[in-house]
Chain A
Amino acid sequence: MAYAYLFKYIIIGDTGVGKSCLLLQFTDKRFQPVHDLTIGVEFGARMITIDGKQIKLQIWDTAGQEAFRSITRSYYRGAAGALLVYDITRRDTFNHLTTWLEDARQHSNSNMVIMLIGNKSDLESRREVKKEEGEAFAREHGLVFMETSAKTAANVEEAFINTAKEIYEKIQEGVFDINNEANGIKIGPQHSNAGAGGAGGAGAGGAPPGGCC
């Protein structure tokens, strides 16, 4: 499947905040209430459309456990975008954001787009972190913020797509060096002419799940 750009994402955050579920909801449009602990890193992919262009998202879902932290660090450098996830029902996962952010800033390239995500917004009754707190943290550190629910799929699409939009804009602004693949961005095989045409052919709107290419 032809694409104009390929973006590499990583999903990071404490264990149990719903990183794998977010990915599954985004790539397969389903929710799995009981999910095995991620070992190391798992891969997922999906095609989306931005500005009439087909964009392929390759997403690496990392293990949140401390034991895998050094493995996770190996993925920062090559990623164009990161979804930093916390659980709105667990204050500690919010408190750890600073550590995550430091880690990410230290090992990633400076242009990496980080999206802050407060997941499990469906569990309003058990909320421990106010939405305003998330917003404030994001503002303070220059992140994009969103509350999502991998269970109800609320905002999941938006989270991934908005991150892509941000990256896309940065490309347009010339911030990203798109010829350096170490930035987590690749130009599609037939970028010059297939960009608009490919998007039209795919019918835009809902992006197909990345089952086949």
Chain B
Amino acid sequence: MDFLKSGLKTVLGAPEPGQQPSVAETVERLVERASNSTLLEDRRDACRALKAMSRKYRLEVGAQGLDTLRQILELDKADNETVNYALDTLNNIVSPSQFEEEEDKPHIPMNIGDQFTEMFIKDPHNIQLLLDLLDEYDFRVRLSTVQLLISLLTNRTKDIQEIILDKPMGVSKMMDLLSDNREVIRNETLLLLIKLTKGNANIQKIVAFENAFDRLFEILCTEGYSDGGIIVEDCLLLMLNLLKNNSSNINFFKEGSYIQKMLPMFNIPDNSEEAGWSPQKVSNVHCMLQLVRTLVSPSNSAQIVSNCQKIMNNVGLLNSLCNILMASGVPADILTETINTVGEVVRGDATNQEFIGTVIAPSYPPRPAIIVLLMSMVNEKQPFPLRCAVLYCFQCYLYRNEVSQANLVQTLLPSSTDVSSLTSGQILCGGLFSSDLLSNWFSAVALMHALIDNTTQKEQLLRVLLATNIGSTPVSLLHQCTLLLQQTTKLQSKVALLMLLAQWTAHCPAAVGCFLRANGAVACLVNHTSCNEHDDNDCLLQGLSAFLLAICIHFNDDSVTNHSADSLRQLLLKRVGLETFTAKLGEVSRHELYNRAAKHPQLRVAAPADVLVDYEFCKLFKSLEGVLIQSVQIKQENAVNEERQSSEADLQQYKQVIRLQDTRLSELLQQLEALAGQAASLQSALNDSLAANSLLKDENTLLKAQVSANSLPQSQPNLVQPPDPRIGEYEARIQQLTDEVTQLTRDLNVVRESQKNSTEELEKMKKDQDDLLELLADQDLKLNEYNMKLLTMVSSIEGDNVIEPEENST
């Protein structure tokens, strides 16, 4: 402080006795001197004084001096010392951190540096001034400029990135500093570039174009790779910035054969165990592993990942990583990250997957590395992040690789005779039924990954039998899982088993059938699904149960008679209801951990309690959710549709009827109106005619009276008729008819005469007939007399004749 005061004294002259100038006044005078003095020395001294004050009184110096300082950068460029003071002063003003000197000044706003930055960059030309100063070779100026740029970038990254991009050669100038042979500048430039490249793809590409990777690998090499200091870490951080989510740069990195150049970074000397790992080395190796992962990250395009994976295997990088995995004395967090890295280097690449399948751990007895890793996974004593890493690595080992999937299931099948050595399948089964929840979850999920998109293995795994107790009949793995699902009360185990069963049964009717045959399986699911608790985790459980139940409906081949697709559907609709079912499925995708898991294949959780949902399961769920809801809806919808349709039809009908009646009504109304009109008109007509009638009657009587008054004289002439011509005609006719009558009378007389004659004749003949009849009767009498006579005569004759014949017969 004394120095400061004396410094001020020399600049400002001795203060007036008894009157201490305020800080603001002092600053004002210094600023004025810096901008107006004609002597360079004066301006330089003023700047030096301002610099000295700027840490403690940055508010005052910044508020009054910003413009002047900027001006000095432009006008006093030639004097390095002055420019340097100005730069340092500016750097103090905009510094993002709080100075010790400021600690007793609570009134200074926290973001003061940010505010001054904003003021400084308001004119983009100011940045150009700084870029121009980078051309200055003077050590102090160059360093101060870089430092000022770092401060500005820290405060306003995006704005300054845009300004710098807009300046031709802006980025290139900074890149040039990386080749500065003064280490301090080079190192500060590294920090500057890390800030500059953060999240800006265009700048990242320009930096890469300006041979950044070459420079950085040179520095890495000279600094001794992983054994180097913090500069190594800075180089790696810059590389990470350049590559992260920048496919163009990753492509460039790959094409530029830089992957090969990474190899020396992973050379772990044999004596590392004795040498130990310094914290810096841990940081360095951690960054290197991040670098590898950035190249093969699952979020990159598949083609880039695949290309990089192949190169990594070809150049031996994968092998180096495996060496770290198997080396002793590697710190746990490095080991964890290496396991994750190995996972991503092999993920989906059959050759690399095969490679780590054959790595043998230097244990006794020698075991495959995969086995050793899985043993750690189901070991409660291992650190939690390490266990998660092993799961991820194992998932990557199985990812889209039917061979490794088959190999895992194979170790569980009865045919495998190799009983002596521990197999991956046995470890997972052990974990599945162990009392450690995390082991349950890890094992179930690991097993699940052997079944993804692999119906063959789903069916193969159905054949797996477990000997639960000595002497009892073996139980199938699926049934044991189902049993465990019913017995366990732990959320993690339940969720893990539900995910495993869902993956197992999806697209595999055989597994569905087997699951449905398990005792109590359906009841358990229905109970879980229809549960009504509202805790987040309970909702998840209900949703997963609903999901599995729906899978059992959708992929049901009706082979289990009492649990056919239809009967299950009815059960679900009756016990749960369609809306509740849909809502419960929805709960799954709303769960926080589900959403976190769905983002990245790697399980990224901070605490063991958050281990709940798996990425691949999320994929399965997403792909099936819609299908399943539809599948369950089918029948329901049909019914509803019919109902809706029938009611619709009814409605239509009613509407039609109403419409009909309506028209009818209006018709009738019209008719009525017409009739009423007619009636009225008729009535009036009637009235008219009645009136006319009475009028006529009156007239009539009047006329009659008139007629009777003068009828006689009037009727006489009426009787005189002219002679009718028809009369002559009638007379002639009468004459004719009279003639005819006389003629006929005459004829009649003649006929009567003849009739009289005939009657006489008839009388005569009747008389004759009577006579004859009389004669006949006489004759008849005579005949009878004779007959009698004859008979008596005959009988007398016969008496004689009878004897004779008798005599004759004897």
A: residues with CB less than 8 A from B are: 1, 8, 40-45, 56, 58, 60, 70-71, 73-75, 77-78, 107, 181-182, 186, 210-213
Contact between chains at A42 and B257 (CB < 8 Å): no
Q: Which residue of chain B is the closest to A77 with respect to CB atoms? A: B172
Instruction: Tell me if B510 counts as interface (CB < 8 A to partner A).
Output: no
Contact between chains at A58 and B256 (CB < 8 Å): yes
Residue of B214, B255, B310 with highest tally of chain A CB at under 10 A: B255
Contact between chains at A40 and B256 (CB < 8 Å): no
B255 touches which one: A41, A73, A75, A213 (CB < 8 A)? A213
A1 vs B307: C-alpha distance in the bound complex, in angstroms?
14
Residue-wise interface mask of B (199-223) relative to A, using a CB-CB cutoff of 8 A (1 in contact, 0 not): 0011001100111001000000000
Classify the secondary structure of B's interface with A.
Answer: helix
Instruction: Tell me if B249 counts as interface (CB < 8 A to partner A).
Output: yes
A40 vs B206: C-alpha distance in the bound complex, in angstroms?
10
Contact between chains at A107 and B205 (CB < 8 Å): no
Residues of B within 8 A of A78 (CB): 172, 209-211
CB distance from A35 to the nearest CB of B (A): 15
Residue-wise interface mask of B (224-258) relative to A, using a CB-CB cutoff of 8 A (1 in contact, 0 not): 00000000000000000000000011011011110
Contact between chains at B255 and A74 (CB < 8 Å): no
Binds A, one of B24-32, B160-168, B663-671, B777-785: B160-168
Contact between chains at A77 and B310 (CB < 8 Å): no
B205 touches which one: A40, A44, A58, A211 (CB < 8 A)? A40
Residue of A1, A42, A44, A74 with highest tally of chain B CB at under 10 A: A74
B166 touches which one: A56, A70, A186 (CB < 8 A)? A70
Contact between chains at A70 and B165 (CB < 8 Å): yes
**Extra 19 A-B pairs, beta carbons < 8 Å, given A41-B202, A45-B256, A74-B168:** A1-B257, A8-B209, A40-B202, A41-B206, A41-B209, A43-B251, A44-B251, A58-B256, A60-B205, A70-B166, A71-B165, A73-B168, A73-B169, A74-B169, A74-B209, A75-B209, A181-B214, A182-B210, A213-B311
Contact between chains at A74 and B254 (CB < 8 Å): no
Residues of A within 8 A of B170 (CB): 74
A40 vs B171: C-alpha distance in the bound complex, in angstroms?
14
Interchain Cβ contacts under 8 Å between A and B, 28 examples: A1-B257, A8-B209, A40-B202, A41-B206, A41-B209, A42-B248, A43-B205, A43-B248, A43-B251, A43-B252, A43-B255, A44-B251, A45-B256, A56-B255, A58-B252, A58-B255, A60-B209, A70-B167, A70-B168, A73-B169, A74-B206, A75-B206, A78-B172, A78-B209, A78-B211, A182-B210, A211-B307, A213-B311
Residues of B within 8 A of A56 (CB): 255
Residues of A within 8 A of B201 (CB): 40
Q: Which residue of chain A is the closest to B259 with respect to CB atoms? A: A213
How many residues in B have their beta carbons less than 8 Å from beta carbons of A?
27
Q: Which residue of chain A is the closest to B170 with respect to CB atoms? A: A74
Residue of A1, A40, A42, A45 with highest tally of chain B CB at under 10 A: A40
A181 vs B165: C-alpha distance in the bound complex, in angstroms?
22
Residues of B within 8 A of A181 (CB): 211, 214
A163 vs B738: C-alpha distance in the bound complex, in angstroms?
157
Residues of A within 8 A of B255 (CB): 43, 45, 56, 58, 210, 213
Contact between chains at A41 and B169 (CB < 8 Å): no
Q: Which residue of chain A is the closest to B303 with respect to CB atoms? A: A211
Residue of B171, B209, B210, B251 with highest tally of chain A CB at under 10 A: B209
CB distance from A58 to the nearest CB of B (A): 7
Contact between chains at B168 and A107 (CB < 8 Å): yes
A73 vs B167: C-alpha distance in the bound complex, in angstroms?
9
Residue of B168, B170, B251, B307 with highest tally of chain A CB at under 10 A: B168
A43 vs B250: C-alpha distance in the bound complex, in angstroms?
10
Residues of A within 8 A of B248 (CB): 41-43
A124 vs B73: C-alpha distance in the bound complex, in angstroms?
57
CB distance from B807 to the nearest CB of A (A): 162
Residue of A1, A43, A60 with highest tally of chain B CB at under 10 A: A43
Residues of A within 8 A of B254 (CB): 213
What 6 A-B pairs come out closest when comparing CB atoms?
A45-B255, A73-B168, A40-B202, A43-B248, A74-B206, A43-B252
Residues of A within 8 A of B167 (CB): 70
Residues of B within 8 A of A77 (CB): 169, 172
Which residues in chain B, 679-699, are within 8 Å of chain A measured between CB atoms? none
Answer whether A107 and B209 are a contact pair too, CB < 8 Å, given A42-B248, A211-B307, A213-B257.
Answer: no
A77 vs B168: C-alpha distance in the bound complex, in angstroms?
10
Residues of B within 8 A of A73 (CB): 168-169
Residues of A within 8 A of B171 (CB): 74
Q: Which residue of chain B is the closest to A61 with respect to CB atoms? A: B248
